[in-house]
Amino acid sequence: MRILVVGAGAIGGYFGGRMLEAGRDVTFLVRPKRAAELASAGLVIKSPNGDVTLKNPPTVQAGKFNEQFDVVLLSCKAFDLDDAIKSFAPAVGPQTSIIPLLNGMLHLDVLDARFGRERVLGGLCAIAATLNEAREVVQLNPMQSLNFGERDGKLSDRVRAIAEVMASGRFGSVASENIVQEMWEKWVFLASLAASTCLMRSSVGDILAAPGGKDFILGVLDECSEVAEAEGHAPSGPFFQRTRGLLTAEGSQITASMFRDIKAGAPVEADHVIGDLIARGDAAKVPVPRLRIAYTHLKVYEKQRG
């Protein structure tokens, strides 16, 4: 099975690297600068689950290949989606499966329109990883998982085949029969965390220590959950209780990656993670006043970045 990993940053570099380490046929679609880094230093992973340096990992660049792959693992940010689609489109053939690891749901519509719904699986990952100054992939804690599956819930032959390959990477891959629900639940958690920590510019623990902080965080969680319910994907009881616990843990230093992007002056996924929830809430007549404030804050930040 030939796998094309779009990007070799923290997410693509980690999951693609683990499969490459296991001897799987993995190629990274990267920009020229990243290709030069990988050719020089290799793909370096620093992880509580084991360090590895993969010398000369296979790479291709946009506009310089015309090969079809069995699987495309898409790990870009939402604001890079259009450019990513242009770069990996030649890799998509009649039997190609695309596994997007983006947050939210809006990207599914974009990918369906371009490649056809039958080629686009559902997918999500849970990992805390970053690129350090040396351009090494650094996993920040042992947590790691990658879920994927048919959006109609069937455990198809292609999903079984992909699952066999991913299992060799030993990163907790799961062939899910409920992937759309899982994607919605992750979105509810992520949007609640992002809206709260970005707007307040601090960690969950600091917000909880402020007057009205707990009420605000739980109010955001309720808004996100109500939008999900209106879309037919109400968060399950166990998920909701876990999420509520994470968002109300006193002293917690947890923040959203979007907040860390703001601190770094980087682009953010305001429209994809928060804006799309507001649009769906409006369509279902679900009031989302806290999300609106957070969204305005993020759009002001984008304006300041130019």
- The CA distance from 126 to 33, in Å, is 27
117 and 169 fall within a common domain: yes
Range of the domain at 162: 2-177
- Choose one of 177, 197, 220: the last residue of a domain: 177
pLDDT number for residue 48: 96
- Mean pLDDT, range 169-176, rounded to an integer: 95
Which CATH number goes with the domain that contains 144? 3.40.50.720
201 and 237 fall within a common domain: yes
Which CATH number goes with the domain that contains 205? 1.10.1040.10
Q: pTM for this structure?
A: 0.94
- pLDDT tens figures, 10-49: 999 999 999 999 999 999 999 999 999 999 999 999 999 9
- The CA distance from 229 to 28, in Å, is 38
- pLDDT tens figures, 121-144: 999 999 989 999 999 999 999 999
Is the predicted pLDDT of residue 306 greater than 90, yes or no? no
- Choose one of 177, 192, 207: the last residue of a domain: 177
Catalytic residues: 186
- Mean pLDDT, range 243-272, rounded to an integer: 95
Average pLDDT along the chain: 96
Percentage of the chain modeled with pLDDT above 70: 100
73 and 108 fall within a common domain: yes
pLDDT number for residue 288: 98
Is the predicted pLDDT of residue 269 greater than 90, yes or no? yes
216 and 144 fall within a common domain: no
203 and 232 fall within a common domain: yes
86 and 171 fall within a common domain: yes
- Mean pLDDT, range 88-100, rounded to an integer: 97
169 and 241 fall within a common domain: no
Number of domains in the chain: 2
Confidence band, pLDDT 50/70/90 cuts, at residue 293: very high
- Choose one of 177, 210, 242: the last residue of a domain: 177
- Mean pLDDT, range 165-180, rounded to an integer: 96
pLDDT number for residue 117: 97
pLDDT number for residue 268: 96
Confidence band, pLDDT 50/70/90 cuts, at residue 114: very high
